[in-house]
Amino acid sequence: MSPEWIHPGLVLIAGAWLIPLLGGTAKRVAMILVPAVALIDCLLLQPGTYGVVHFVGQDLTFGRVDRLSLVFAYVFALMTLVGMVYALHVNDDAQHVSALTYAGSALGITFAGDFLSLFLFWELAAVSAVMLVWLRRERTAVAAGFRYLLVHVFGGLCLLGGIVLYWSDSGSLAFVDMSAHAGTTAFALILVAFLLNAAVPPLGAWLPDAYPEATVTGAVFLTAFTTKSAVYALVRGFAGTELLVWSGAAMAVYGVVYAVLENDARRLLAYHIISQVGYMVCGVGLGTEMALNGTTAHAFSHILYKALLFMGAGAVLEVTGRRKLSEMGGLHKTMPVTLGLYMIGAFAISAVPLFSGFVSKSMVVSAAGESHRAAIFLTLTLASAGTFLHTGLKLPYYMFFGRDRGLAAHEPPSNMLVAMGLAAAACIIIGVFPGLLYAQLPYHVDYAPYTVRHVLSTLGVLSFTALGFFALLSHLDPEPTISLDTDWFYRRGLSTAMAHSYSALVRVENALALVYEGFVGRLLLGTAARLRQVDASVVDRAAEGIGNITDAVSQSLKLVVTGHAQHHGLMMAAGVLIAMAIALFARQ
């Protein structure tokens, strides 16, 4: 790295390993200082190409800095700082190391200018992310972590296979627009890998399976990086791909529908990640400058408000130990600050005017309208109403209001409230001053969110949604049920396959045992018996004969030994004379 290029991801990854070496106040200072330095590093970066390494005849670029990579880097670094503030009270170095490594990997993906360096950070992100699930140290978390790892190993293999084929076809590893390779196997495999990380159904059931099982603070980091780094990769390589338009619109509705059925607060929020990422995927598929700007802006906004929502739900879990909406209620009395901060995130994700979601999500919806995609426009609008219904109304009502369950609760640690306050402030600032975000987007922005028509239509949709919620409130009570998702197929399929494989292996083992007993066993036993006979008849007799000869020689030598030195000297002299005579005869 040159002095003008210090990789922000390396700052986080290297800094992560300082945390276990420190203690007390020094540790907490480092937890804030490391992501703060990475954020400042990102803010100081200038567009250009840095960190180029020549390897296997290719230029590996670890620092492709342009407007697209910078806007994602800004929000990734900012979210890392907020997340570490939220985790200050946690006395678990493994969580902090994993979180910072995970965030550093996301920055590595963002600045990767070639597929090989992208793949390295892609896999590092998967490994460090699963640690945030496992470190909850509960049986359900361990199981969910293994499923997460299994799915992402498959995605990594797809990505690696696509990269190899792309290299073979093009002779290059440069990560560029893939439209020229559309229809090839490399294009398909890389796209599948990106869609899997973006949690596009039916490849996305890993997200609501794993995220709710993560640690309280780890889940906040998980909401930010895996899906949004995949969105970045899609914008970079697959803009304008028609499949993404319909996949994204389906995602937006899919997440809302599953949220209707959900009783677990964090699982409900996880399904809404899928729904909101659907807007981004759809924007990538539309491919216009407004759509890509909207995708980027919504990714920026989503990272902050979704983290705020998970922080609110995590605060309740931290204090009460409860995740199920059917077990909560009445917490507005004991956790009013948490409620207020959570509602800011809820208004942001619901695209309420003056909050961040209003100025970002509407860009994607408007891009669909300008592209004359009426069905997509209506689908995204419907999904937006569903988001307000469940994240803005259902979840806070049953968590903080509803029937008072008499839970002993209080506000969470102050650092958690500070982190929530930072995220909430960002949601409001972006909503009130959208030009601050628009100025960072990859293309010129010619969009005004605060028109009378847009504001009134949005308020109308939100008002009717609220009216419907309270009218049907008695039918929306959460129930302790489990919703089957698309992961049922591979979970059930793998269980069945393993059961059949086990039975087959047992049969093979039994057959091999019969073969062993019938042939190998008899052969070995017969050979052993014959060797025993040889040992008794040949080896033992030979040893006995050698012993007899040795004994006879010893008896003869005993007669020669007299104990007089003179005799020994004469015998030695005689021996020497005999040896000399033999030597002389031999020479003749």
Q: 56 versus 311: which is more confidently predicted?
A: 311
pLDDT digit string (tens) for 271-305? 999 999 999 999 999 999 999 999 999 999 999 99
Q: What is the pLDDT of residue 475?
A: 74
Q: How far apart are CA 235 and CA 231, in angstroms?
A: 6
| β pairing state of 58-65 and 48-55 | antiparallel
pLDDT digit string (tens) for 333-388? 999 999 999 999 999 999 999 999 999 999 999 999 999 999 999 999 999 888 99
Q: Is 64 helix (H, G, I), strand (E, B) or coil?
A: strand
Q: What is the pLDDT of residue 584?
A: 65
Q: What is the pLDDT of residue 235?
A: 97
Q: How far apart are CA 223 and CA 79, in angstroms?
A: 10
Q: What is the pLDDT of residue 362?
A: 93
pLDDT over 70 percentage in the chain = 86
Could you tell me the pLDDT band of residue 44, with boundaries at 50, 70 and 90?
very high
Query: Is pLDDT of 511 > 90?
Result: no
Backbone angles phi, psi at 309, to 5 degrees: -65, -45
The structure tokens listed for 183 are: 């229809």
Q: Is 179 helix (H, G, I), strand (E, B) or coil?
A: helix
Classify residue 584 as exposed, middle or buried by CB count within 10 Å of its CB (0-12, 13-18, 19+): exposed
Interior/surface letters 329-340, b for 16+ CB within 10 angstroms, e for the rest: bbbbebbeebbe
Q: How far apart are CA 166 and CA 189, in angstroms?
A: 10
Could you tell me the pLDDT band of residue 507, with boundaries at 50, 70 and 90?
confident
DSSP labels, 208-255: HHHGGGS-TTHHHHHHHHHHHHHHHHHHHHHTT-HHHHHHHHHHHHHH
Q: Describe the crossing of helices 218-238 and 289-320 by its angle, rounded to 10 degrees.
A: 170
DSSP code for 479: -
- What value does the mean pLDDT take over residues 484-496? 66
Query: Is pLDDT of 154 > 90?
Result: yes
How many other CB atoms are found less than 10 A from the CB of residue 57? 8
Half-sphere CA count of 353, side-chain side, radius 13 A: 16
Q: How far apart are CA 519 and CA 506, in angstroms?
A: 20
How many other CB atoms are found less than 10 A from the CB of residue 43? 13
Q: What is the pLDDT of residue 573?
A: 65
Helices (H), 441-539: 452-471, 487-515, 521-534
Query: Is pLDDT of 582 > 80?
Result: no
- What value does the mean pLDDT take over residues 427-452? 95
Q: Describe the crossing of helices 218-238 and 265-286 by its angle, rounded to 10 degrees.
A: 10
Query: Is pLDDT of 150 > 70?
Result: yes
The structure tokens listed for 163 are: 């990269």
pLDDT digit string (tens) for 255-268? 999 888 888 999 99
Could you tell me the pLDDT band of residue 536, with boundaries at 50, 70 and 90?
low
Query: Is pLDDT of 539 > 70?
Result: no
Only one residue has tokens 């002993």, namely 408
Q: What is the pLDDT of residue 341?
A: 97
Query: Is pLDDT of 315 > 70?
Result: yes
Q: What is the pLDDT of residue 46?
A: 93
Q: 80 versus 567: which is more confidently predicted?
A: 80
Query: Is pLDDT of 586 > 70?
Result: no
Helices (H), 371-413: 374-387, 395-400
Q: How far apart are CA 94 and CA 275, in angstroms?
A: 31
DSSP labels, 298-329: HHHHHHHHHHHHHHHHHHHHHHH---BGGG--
Structural contact between residues 210 and 487, judged by C-beta atoms closer than 8 angstroms: no
Q: What is the pLDDT of residue 546?
A: 74
Q: What is the pLDDT of residue 481?
A: 67
Question: Which among 110, 109, 118, 40 has a CA at the least distance from the CA of 78?
Answer: 40
Only one residue has tokens 């989503």, namely 302
Q: Where exactly are the structural domains of the chain?
A: 1-149+196-228, 240-481, 489-571
Q: What is the pLDDT of residue 549?
A: 76
- Max CA-CA distance within the chain? 135
Measured CA angle at 185 (ends 181, 186), to 5 deg: 60
Q: How far apart are CA 534 and CA 291, in angstroms?
A: 89
pLDDT digit string (tens) for 194-237? 999 999 999 999 999 999 999 999 999 999 999 999 999 999 99
Could you tell me the pLDDT band of residue 254, with boundaries at 50, 70 and 90?
very high
Q: What is the pLDDT of residue 568?
A: 59
Q: Is 48 helix (H, G, I), strand (E, B) or coil?
A: strand
